[in-house]
Structure 1
Amino acid sequence: MKTWLHSWRAAIRIARRDAWRSKGRSALVLAMIALPILGVSALDLTYRSSELSPTERADRMIGAADAQFRDPGYGGAPIFQDPIGEMSTTAKDYENTSWPSGPTDVTKTFPAGSTFLSDSSGTAKLTTKHGLLVTHVRELKAADPIARGITTLLEGRYPEKNDEVVATSRFLESSGLSVGSTLSARNFDRPYRIVGSYEIPDDLNAVQVNAVPGAFLAPYAKAVEKAGLQKPDISTTYLVRKSGGFTWNMVKELNTKGVIVASRAVILDPPATSEVPLYQKENWGNFESSAGANAAQLAAVGTVVGLAMLEICLLAGPAFAVGARRSRRQLGLVGANGGARSHIRAIVLSGGLVIGVAAAVTGTVLALILTKVLQPYLEETMGQRFGAFDIRPLEILGIALLAVLTGLLAAIVPAITASRQTVLASLTGRRGVRRSSRVLPLIGLAALLIGGAIALFGSMISQQFIVVAGGSAIAELGVVAMTPALVGLFGRAGRWLPLSPRLALRDAVRNRGRTAPAVAAVLAAVAGTVAVSTYMASEETQHRAEYTAQMPHGTVAAFVMEEGGRDVPAVREAIERYVPVDVRADVARVAVGKPSCQPWDSGPGCGRFEVVVPPANECPMYATIPGGGDASEKYTPEQRLKMITDDWRCKEGRSSGMYVSDGGLLVGDAALLKVLGLDEPATVKALADGKVVSFNPVNVDKNGMYGIKQITDLAAADKASEQGRPAPGKVVALPAYQVPGDQKSYGVQALMTPATAKAAGLATAPLGTYASTDRLPDTEARQKLDGELTKLGSNVDLRVEEGFVNDNSLILLSLAIFAGLVTVGAAGIATGLAQADAEADLKTLAAVGAPPRVRRTLSGFQCGVVAAMGVLLGSAAGVLPAMGLRLNEERQQMRWHEDAVAQGWSAASEVPYVPIVIPWETLAGLLVAVPVGAALLAALVTRSRGALSRREAT
């Protein structure tokens, strides 16, 4: 035991001195191992620090209160909730009856002796330095001890008077205001002074202002309603304190009164799943990930970590081999002085151990320092503050041990190779005869076949992508194991090459021990790049085929539905100012009830309209059944497929496209037809004659009439819909012109002029504008237009039809650059090892009169040969996983398509298109540019002259 300890101690000292002597090589290997350790450790620290403890979560959610009470809006009906209070539903199922709705007086459910603090919120358009900004307004007495922890004061103080507010730092940044500035709201001229800034630890991006309770929301709502606009919604929760807190049984008792309760005691000590009634309801128990899903995630993480370690070992292994080759005289002296082969193996392995430990320490220390230094930036990126800087020693130690293990694994093959050399060969520099293993290629071939079979099973039979990924990883490892044999096959191509590349290729084939790991490293990097590139190129082709233009190319459209289209004129003016407009077409919508109501509003005085579909034109699958029910259930999947493919009433026709208004009905003039390319003479004449121009034959009856139903009683309409009856309302029938042919109308199903709408007694409200352009607006014009629209404070739906845009081109370029860097690095390491091996040959060439450039040329071709072999093999290996994943996706999408057809969805009439596309441009760049670049780089950094050495005495 003592002898073993002393021998390893000596081996480590020798390895440490050798690593210090070869600082460049040691730094390279250390960086390769330490960088992944740095990244994983920093990720672990960031994740654990951002993961809130139950106490921290309770503080940020309910402050110092014992519970938060909230009204779910079920009119006091009993409910079930989850322990945290984020999910809830009614205790009773309301399948064939209307669901309860309405407010609940939450204050009446407070236990006796409780104290509470109200927390109200709503939205308002506040005036800023740039215009208007839609802002979340909160009324919470933030200075009260009950609210401690919900917000963090950054500057100034919390408001104390009714004309004071405090704003988040993000609001001040977006608005251009500062502490001390005044602000007001649109339709509400009352001024407020900003007395401080704060942040919400759980939402650093919140654009919010805070006032004292009752100071803003209620008077603002009255002012807006007085202006004839829709009253904004205001929601209120209550922070409640009670001696003893609220247990889970108390929470369930309060649920019977229709109140959601987020209790501090329950958050800190949640009940078992079996004690939560919500989880016992159907479709509510699948909130937890299954064991299979967790196992799949662990398998995926393990696969990625394993491949990363393999990549590092393949890159670092040749570097250790370079060190062993340069130290072979030293290792020979160890053998000459009685050292055994185990001592030589220990010395080389100690090099991996020393570098691994140094990389572990370096990576871990840098991760701690960088994560702490970058904590504010990480928090800003994540949008929330860390709970605490949480260091898990066991996790950090486990990650660090990966570095040590990687260093040892990378040094195993060089250690075995060095120990097999005789003492005489080591001292004289002779290489001896090297034979490659015959077993390893057979093992690699078996792994390739087994992995390919697993990937094929995953893509054709299984529905788990992890099976495809795992099989592909095994197959790639098999190719790596076969690399020495494959390198030998490349040697047969040397007969067709010129002298320098032929010498480089034969040298690489003759010395497979140093060539194969470098080629395998390039193979692994390129295979991953090719796999991702193939997958993304296939997805791009699929998305390009599936892309549906919303408007003719180069068209700009903007819609505003808020406040009765009050800001539409300003939007039209901004488009004229910043967009090269050719033809502009202004459009409006049919409005029922108060003009300020939006189409989806259900408040007092609001209504909606429906386009009447004649009974003869109604698709049988979507027919209304008295008493409710699904008409499609009467038909078989085959009948449904026939309907959505052959029956014109069930197909999504030319009128499909983007949403423009209810029923696709717009109010405009012939300019819209010109912008959309639908301005045929007959269509323009029909519109001028006062007819409704229809692009969907389903909406026109046999008499050529187009029906519009105005619904003013929304409650009665909803009740009729639940009972399967038509909604009550006044129907206006207008003469229509059905546009013939299959012209695409981009979501516009019908168009009428303002004069036609007025004559029919239909009220209208401004909606927006369409504009055709001479050319697409450039980036500068888009930014100016976006800034101008932001000043309005309205929710403007701006669309520019640019055609299909590929968002993955930059990613593909980054992957190619990454693969190129790894390839050049691996080939450079192999070239250094080749130079260490070929030093005697180069000196011989110099002695016989070879020009100085031969050394540089030979080094360049040695590097290029390794890169070319690795890129070629990696390109072939990388296509397999991408093909497997795409075939798996095709099966899934076909299954979804069949299910959709069985349910009668008209959108499922087209069979999914899931192509497999090889990115030839990326492959060409890898196959040509990377080897050539690696060769040129190696030639440039290699010295052309080498000193001649004296013949050693024998």
Structure 2
Amino acid sequence: MLALPIVGVSAADLTLRSAELSPEQALTRMIGTADARVSQSHMSGPIYQSPDGTRSLPVGGYKDYDPSKATREKPEPVESLLPPGAQVLKDSTGYTKVRTTHGLLDTQLRELDTHSPLVKGMITLNRGQLPEAPGEVIATQAFLKESGLFVGSSVTPRGATFPYKIVGAYELPDELGRPEIIAPPGTLIAPLNKALTASGGRTVTADDKYLVKVGGAGVTWDAVQAANTKGLIVVSRAVVLHPPADSEVPLYRNEPSAKSERDGNKTVQMAILATVVGLAMLEICLLAGPAFAVGARRSRRQLGLVGANGGDRRHIRSIVLSGGLVLGAVAAVIGTVIGVLLTVVLRPVLEESLGNRFGGFDFRPLELVGIALLAVVTGLLAAIVPAVTASRQTVLASLTGRRGVRRANRVLPVIGLIAIAAGVAIALYGTTSDLGSTVVAGGSALAELGLVALTPVLVGLFGRLGRWLPLSPRLALRDAVRNRGRTAPAVAAVLAAVAGTVAVATYQQSFDAQMRHEYRAELPHGTGLLTVRDNSAYKEVPALREALAKELPLSQRADIDRLVVGKPGCESFSSDPGCGRIELITPKEQRCPLYEDVKGIEAFSEARRKELRQDWRCQESRYGTEHSVLVGDEKVLSVLAVTDPGSVAALKAGQAVSFDKRQVKDGKLTLRIITKQGEDDVMRGRYDETPGEDKVLSVHLAPDTTQNWGVELILPPAAAKAAGLATAPLGSYFGLDGTASSEQRQRIAGEIDRMGVESSLHIEAGYQGDDSLVMLALAVFAGLVTIGAAGIATGLAQADAEADLKTLAAVGAAPRVRRTLSGFQCGVVALMGVVLGSAAGILPAIGLRLTEQRQAEALYRESIEQGLSTMTESVPFVPISLPWETLAGLLVVVPLGAALLAALVTRSSGALARRAAG
């Protein structure tokens, strides 16, 4: 059992060190052997960037930034802005659909000279060869798995005039799950766009990056800043490896939140790591004590013989301490070797689950030796108490197996209560302190130590439950309470293991709840929307609907149309002759004042802004989706999970339904038909200066609690016809009977492609968390340690109760009594430890989450002070969520498993004790 924590710690050390890429390794995967990677920022004018190139903003901030200028002005070619004489390699990427054995698959296309020395380290060729001639590509393992293709088969991007042969399979070390194909420069994206242009299709937008090799000292921070003045973002090897001081980074001076967020994330991560490591170390110490107590108790007769033959207490202590030293050394070697072997064997599984490759096995000999020495020192320290206890026993007591009565320690529980109170107070103080996470970790550790000190008393309190239990569990519980010297350390060891697991699980569950809250679903879970991207393809919508019903398992379908002004094929906001649009006009008194003043939100004081953010007129963004006004029947409400009876009845009766009360006044809503529009007419729906014909409709207003999913108004076909409004097919909402597999998605994409229609298909799958593997690993680890610690207590209990068990056998007790009693003894220890550990593990997680909440609120207040807030912003949501499933598994499965395992490995019969000769 001393080796078990060493296995975990050494495996965790090697795994974390191997998975944690060094800056040089991360750069190699990003830019190969180049000195820098240069790309356009797509912002007009100069920019500021962070040293690692992950963040940037326009000079002067976004307050006075004009994004339309970036679209009007064509940036200079990056090649012309690079230093003369530099070695440059272009890396172009773009997304499109590629034909597969199932249909169509969204795939990243890439043009890159894979033979260039600059690419070394960016990709890993697994089999086959690199592409050389036009018409050859290599594909990632993820693409081959999803598409059903293989090396040697042909692949054709949608719209291409000829297929490409797959000559090799490769992987991206940092993105193992990305479907991607690579072709030589100029042979994939450019020919595809040429073919798409000729056929009138939508071209692929290429994102160009440039790998640059300049030699010498590389690209310095001064060179990076010079490139920033030309609107370029640079990831420089020299700068990342040797970053400048924060005072030399203009981005941090102009946007302090960037630096604060970076430092805050590092602090929280270090605190979490320190908390987990601290709990693991405490667990090692607690596991070792009961283990040596078992050995000393089983060896008491041999130790008594040493005393009978002239040995004194010093000799007995030396024997027990030497045993601890030897066992610690053996555990250190075995645990370290097993931990390293486990990491080596499980590496592919870990890499596939994480989605990226390790940087290689990063053995840190000093760290592994330190972990091993910890086992030796812990073994020696853990043997001290059993050694002292054994040396104090009389020779007669050791030879006969008798034990005296030991009084309970009255001081230790008081110290435990004080430590718990102090630890909780320190942890809560840490949530408001600048040191934050560090103080929380220290307070949590102190509180847990206090709980460990209080364990003997808590074990006694558990004993009062025995009166309501059947015979066998009652005997097991009373035995555990009467022998707290062996029960309390084992319970404390289980407590430490479970507390660490619950702490990490609670933090992870809370973070997952935060991400789930911040996720914004576009549709109800399990529903989808299929629409044409080009209004000119409205005639193909019926065929799209038939393909949808054919390829996907639909439970319901609701067809929708759009309102038309002018030509049915006009784009939604086209200013071409013969085209128009329809606007929802909001009454002036129901518009948000923040956006009515020509000076913008800066015209209001901060207090007034806070007040208006609570105003019902400013609660949400005024804009819905591109097609926020739909024509459809009550089936649309069913798919969108709108259950308001009044809304359903209104649509059935031919009355329109509105979801935004700002647009409705006295039960009426105004639609403006605009046939003449200028190029500067961009403030649609906000002002009513644009002339047009108004249509006033009687509408039913849905309740405020109704989720509209971006839809502002639904017109039944009869109401649209009565108002003289023309319509055209748009698409369909649909619900699924189950889920759509990747093959089904590819097949319907292929069907749509054969029609030659550009469409948009979205199926709402909800928030997709990726913590299931983490939770499973934590639960398994806690279960193993818990069963092991409980097993130690059971072994000690069997050693203590050997005479009683032999007496039971002598008087005719059934053989299963030994198994039943051992199982309940083990289960009782496991259950007590899990209950106490669950309570102890919640404190550090709560402290860390409260610290994160304080940091998030500080950043929010800072953004308000800088005038960066908008009406949709709100106070950060940092919840605390308990992992009920993990807790239930620990409270039920682990004690039950420990009890069954102990019962199975216990012999059902033992040798009868012989009577001593009279």
1:333 counterpart (289, 293, 305): 305
2:636 counterpart (639, 647, 672): 672
Partner residue in 1 for 2:708 = 746
Q: Does structure 1 residue 842 correspond to structure 2 residue 805?
A: yes
Task: Select between 248-257 and 536-545 the one with higher mean Cα deviation.
Answer: 536-545
Aligned to 2:259, the other structure's residue is in SS state: coil
Quick one: structure 1 residues 285 and 445, their matched pair in 2 at CA, closer, same or farther if it must change by over 3 Å? closer
1:573 counterpart (534, 543, 546): 546
Partner residue in 1 for 2:527 = 556
Aligned to 1:190, the other structure's residue is in SS state: coil
1:585 counterpart (547, 553, 558): 558
Partner residue in 2 for 1:830 = 793
1:474 counterpart (439, 446, 452): 446
Q: How much has 1:324 moved relative to structure 2?
A: 0.8
Confirm or deny: 8 A CA contact 1:41 1:367 kept in the other structure. no
d(CA) in 1 for partners of 2:382 and 2:313? 19
Q: How much has 1:736 moved relative to structure 2?
A: 2.0
Q: Per-residue CA shift, 1:696-732, capped at 9, x if unaligned?
A: 2322467742236689766x456x79xx996986655
Q: Does structure 1 residue 777 correspond to structure 2 residue 737?
A: yes
Confirm or deny: 8 A CA contact 1:158 1:196 kept in the other structure. yes
Partner residue in 1 for 2:695 = 734
Q: How does 1:879-890 map to 2 (within 5 A)?
A: none
d(CA) in 2 for partners of 1:60 and 1:538? 32
Confirm or deny: 8 A CA contact 1:229 1:597 kept in the other structure. no
d(CA) in 2 for partners of 1:914 and 1:111? 50
Count of matched residue pairs = 897
Q: How does 1:106-145 map to 2 (within 5 A)?
A: 106-145=78-117
AA in 2 matched with 1:428: T
Quick one: structure 1 residues 284 and 836, their matched pair in 2 at CA, closer, same or farther if it must change by over 3 Å? closer
Confirm or deny: 8 A CA contact 1:526 1:874 kept in the other structure. yes
Confirm or deny: 8 A CA contact 1:562 1:596 kept in the other structure. no
Q: How much has 1:418 moved relative to structure 2?
A: 1.9
Q: How does 1:68-87 map to 2 (within 5 A)?
A: 68-75=37-44, 77-87=45-55
Q: How does 1:545-944 map to 2 (within 5 A)?
A: 556-560=527-531, 562=533, 572-577=545-550, 584-589=557-562, 611-630=583-602, 633=605, 636=608, 639-640=611-612, 643-644=615-616, 649-651=617-619, 661-662=625-626, 664-669=628-633, 671-673=635-637, 676-677=642-643, 680=648, 682-686=650-654, 693-700=657-664, 704-707=669-672, 716=680, 731=692, 733-740=694-701, 742=703, 744=706, 746-747=708-709, 748-752=711-715, 767-771=730-734, 777-778=737-738, 785-789=744-748, 791=750, 796-799=760-763, 822-847=785-810, 855-856=818-819, 858-867=821-830, 869-870=832-833, 873-874=836-837, 938-939=902-903, 941-944=905-908
d(CA) in 2 for partners of 1:160 and 1:532? 50
Q: How much has 1:761 moved relative to structure 2?
A: 10
Partner residue in 1 for 2:289 = 317
Task: Select between 383-392 and 302-311 the one with higher mean Cα deviation.
Answer: 383-392
Q: Per-residue CA shift, 1:854-903, capped at 9, x if unaligned?
A: 54554455445544544555566566667777888998999999999999
d(CA) in 1 for partners of 2:86 and 2:901? 76
2:482 counterpart (503, 506, 510): 510
Confirm or deny: 8 A CA contact 1:181 1:194 kept in the other structure. yes
Q: Per-residue CA shift, 1:174-199, capped at 9, x if unaligned?
A: 32333343333323323333344444
d(CA) in 2 for partners of 1:543 and 1:238? 34
Partner residue in 2 for 1:948 = 912
Q: How much has 1:849 moved relative to structure 2?
A: 6.1
Aligned to 2:605, the other structure's residue is in SS state: helix
Aligned to 1:437, the other structure's residue is in SS state: coil
AA in 2 matched with 1:948: L
Q: Per-residue CA shift, 1:593-635, capped at 9, x if unaligned?
A: 99999989x9999999684443424334433222444465375
Q: How much has 1:84 moved relative to structure 2?
A: 4.4
Q: How does 1:259-408 map to 2 (within 5 A)?
A: 259-267=232-240, 269-283=242-256, 286=259, 289-290=262-263, 297-408=269-380
Q: How much has 1:836 moved relative to structure 2?
A: 1.2
Quick one: structure 1 residues 376 and 765, their matched pair in 2 at CA, closer, same or farther if it must change by over 3 Å? farther
d(CA) in 1 for partners of 2:46 and 2:860? 39
User: 5+ residue gaps in structure 1?
Assistant: 1-28
Task: Select between 242-251 and 202-211 the one with higher mean Cα deviation.
Answer: 242-251
Q: How much has 1:834 moved relative to structure 2?
A: 1.8
Q: How much has 1:758 moved relative to structure 2?
A: 9.6
Q: How does 1:414-429 map to 2 (within 5 A)?
A: 414-429=386-401
Confirm or deny: 8 A CA contact 1:541 1:917 kept in the other structure. no
d(CA) in 2 for partners of 1:493 and 1:113? 83
Quick one: structure 1 residues 328 and 134, their matched pair in 2 at CA, closer, same or farther if it must change by over 3 Å? same
Q: Does structure 1 residue 519 correspond to structure 2 residue 495?
A: no
Q: Per-residue CA shift, 1:362-419, capped at 9, x if unaligned?
A: 3333344444455455444444444443322222223333333443344333233222
AA in 1 matched with 2:66: S
Quick one: structure 1 residues 181 and 283, their matched pair in 2 at CA, closer, same or farther if it must change by over 3 Å? same
1:431 counterpart (387, 399, 403): 403
d(CA) in 1 for partners of 2:157 and 2:191? 11
Q: How much has 1:666 moved relative to structure 2?
A: 1.9
Task: Select between 451-460 and 603-612 the one with higher mean Cα deviation.
Answer: 603-612
d(CA) in 1 for partners of 2:395 and 2:326? 25
Confirm or deny: 8 A CA contact 1:158 1:195 kept in the other structure. yes
Confirm or deny: 8 A CA contact 1:620 1:631 kept in the other structure. no
Give me the CA root mean square deviation: 5.1
Quick one: structure 1 residues 158 and 518, their matched pair in 2 at CA, closer, same or farther if it must change by over 3 Å? closer
Partner residue in 2 for 1:445 = 417
d(CA) in 2 for partners of 1:758 and 1:596? 19
Aligned to 2:210, the other structure's residue is in SS state: strand
d(CA) in 1 for partners of 2:502 and 2:351? 34
Aligned to 1:143, the other structure's residue is in SS state: coil
Confirm or deny: 8 A CA contact 2:514 2:877 kept in the other structure. no
d(CA) in 2 for partners of 1:889 and 1:460? 10
Q: How much has 1:491 moved relative to structure 2?
A: 5.3
Aligned to 2:162, the other structure's residue is in SS state: strand
Task: Select between 253-262 and 116-125 the one with higher mean Cα deviation.
Answer: 253-262
d(CA) in 2 for partners of 1:569 and 1:403? 72
Q: Does structure 1 residue 191 correspond to structure 2 residue 163?
A: yes
d(CA) in 2 for partners of 1:899 and 1:811? 34
Percent identity, please: 51
Partner residue in 1 for 2:6 = 34
Confirm or deny: 8 A CA contact 1:167 1:210 kept in the other structure. yes
AA in 1 matched with 2:40: D
Aligned to 1:188, the other structure's residue is in SS state: coil
Q: How much has 1:739 moved relative to structure 2?
A: 0.6
Partner residue in 2 for 1:8 = none
1:176 counterpart (123, 132, 148): 148
Task: Select between 321-330 and 151-160 the one with higher mean Cα deviation.
Answer: 151-160
Q: How much has 1:750 moved relative to structure 2?
A: 0.7
Confirm or deny: 8 A CA contact 2:647 2:700 kept in the other structure. no
Confirm or deny: 8 A CA contact 1:560 1:797 kept in the other structure. yes
